[in-house]
Amino acid sequence: MRSFSKISSVVSATALIAALVLPASAMAVELSNSSASYGDKVSLIHNDYGKDVVIRSDVSIDDLRKMRDTMSEQSRQIEELKRNSGSSSSSSGKEIDDLKNKVKDQDRELDTLGRQVEDLKRNSGSSSNSNSSEISNLKQKINDQDRAMDQLKRTVEDLSRKVK
Q: Please list, in sequence order, all residues whose beta carbon lies within 8 angstroms of the beta carbon of residue 3, skipping any fewer than 6 positions away.
A: 65, 68
Residue % of the chain over a pLDDT of 70: 73
CA 37 to chain CA mean position, Å: 37
Quick: pLDDT tens for 99-158.
888 888 888 888 888 888 877 777 765 555 666 777 788 888 888 888 888 888 888 888
Residues paired with residue 48 on neighbouring β-strands, in sequence order: 51
**83 — pLDDT class (breaks 50, 70, 90):** confident
Q: What is the mean pLDDT of residues 86-97?
A: 71
> Is-contact 45 53, C-beta < 8 A?
yes
Judge if pTM exceeds 0.75.
no
Has residue 7 got a pLDDT over 60?
no
Highest mean pLDDT among 76-80, 94-98, 160-164: 76-80
DSSP class of residue 38 equals: T
Asked if 113 contacts 141 with a C-beta cutoff of 8 angstroms, the reply is yes
Instruction: Note whether 68 and 3 are within 8 A (CB).
Output: yes
How far does CA 24 lie from the centroid of its chain? 57
